[in-house]
Amino acid sequence: MSKIEIIRNELQTKHKEVFNTETIFDREPVVPYTCDDFHKIKKHILTAQEFIADGLNGHELDDYIAGLEFAEYELSGLDDSIDSLNTEVELLRAWGQSWKDLAKQLIEDNNIDITQYSNIYYDYKEEINNAK
């Protein structure tokens, strides 16, 4: 059992609820998946492009107008959707940064040798050893 699982089990026994690692280590909550939101926005943009193309390829003024109206409908509100996604991305960045800061603090406080986890450092040491 990992150290984190031991902590989680102790907290669960005491508080009768399951704790995620963000709660255990006082990190920002995990950010929800946003892939579907990106796909929805992309779909609206592509649909609007199709309506515009259909309008441009039409032979009557009504074709142009209908294409533009449908495109406008597909594009309306997307600025709010993009603003919402931007907020989610900022939360994701803060979430990741908080874990990075905690990892750095733990490395420094516990004098952990992280050179074994660095491929670039390993390659650098190999170059030095091979040059000798």
| 96-130 pLDDT, tens digit each | 999 999 999 998 899 888 877 778 878 888 888 89
Q: Would you kindly state where each structural domain of the chain is located, as residue ranges?
A: 1-30, 33-92
Percent of the chain having pLDDT more than 90?
A: 45
Q: What confidence tier does 95 reach under pLDDT thresholds 50, 70, 90?
A: very high
* pLDDT one-digit tens code per residue, 60-75: 899 889 989 999 999 9
**Mean pLDDT along residues 32-58:** 90
For 52-71, b where at least 16 C-beta lie within 10 A, e where not — what string? beebeeeeeeeebeebeebb
98 neighbors 27 (Cβ within 8 angstroms): yes
pLDDT score at 58: 84
How many beta carbons lie within 10 A of that of residue 112, not counting itself? 12
Give the pLDDT of residue 128. Answer: 84
